[in-house]
Amino acid sequence: MKTEFEKMRSEELYNFSDKEINTSLRHAKDLCTRLQTLTLSSPEYRDVIEKLIPNFPKSSGICPPFHCDHGSGIRIGERSFLNYNCVILDGACVTIGNDVKIGPSCQLLTPQHPINYKERRGTCETSFPITIGDDTWLGGGVVVCPGVRIGKRCIIAAGSVVIHDIPDDCMAAGNPAVVKKHLNE
């Protein structure tokens, strides 16, 4: 039988009031709080970010302030950069490719609350993974919703809300974001 944490990572309905999930949340909140007092050049930065996000590449960076739910569900590729004030809710895994640029105040949100309002009153939800392909740029204030895959070499315009997958080599904009043009043709 799966634990609630395993269900969370497996796109199944899970109870977010579970003890194991809450221990993980507290661990991440403590590390995010410590991170807020640091800069990319602070001597302690690497130690804190690597405790928060396992296998965080030395060639990548996240400018504090930064907030996440668990940290353990975040995979970041080489030479990727997240600017100030980004939020990653990583109930499901969030995979960010190599050479990705994420502008300030972006939000990558994997949790999905129940549609039925009576079910939403409880402590259950599902989470769906987010993937951002190599060489992609998210402008400031982009929101990426649960289950979205953004392809390689894409540009997502500032302020866009991405609710559907975006294919490789596309520029998308708007709320909801739609492909405005194909790139690299």
d(CA 171, CA 155): 5
3, pLDDT greater than 90: yes
185, pLDDT greater than 80: no
For the segment 130-140, the average pLDDT, to the nearest whole number, is 98
For the segment 105-125, the average pLDDT, to the nearest whole number, is 96
pLDDT at residue 91, as a whole number: 98
For the segment 81-105, the average pLDDT, to the nearest whole number, is 98
Q: Which of 27, 67, 70, 113 is catalytic?
A: 113
52, pLDDT greater than 80: yes
Q: Does residue 182 carry a catalytic annotation? A: no
Q: Which CATH architecture has domain 4-182?
A: 3 Solenoid (2.160)
DSSP sequence for 35-60: HTT--TTSTTHHHHHHHHSTT--TT-
pLDDT at residue 73, as a whole number: 98
Write out the H or E segment, with its range, that includes residue 110.
none
Looking at every residue in the chain, the average pLDDT score rounds to 97
Q: What percent of the chain has pLDDT over 90?
A: 99
Q: Name the residue ranges covered by the structural domains of the chain.
A: 4-182
pLDDT at residue 177, as a whole number: 98
For the segment 87-93, the average pLDDT, to the nearest whole number, is 98
Cβ-contact 99, 79 below 8 angstroms = yes
d(CA 181, CA 99): 21
For the segment 60-71, the average pLDDT, to the nearest whole number, is 98
184, pLDDT greater than 90: no
pLDDT at residue 94, as a whole number: 98
d(CA 39, CA 60): 14
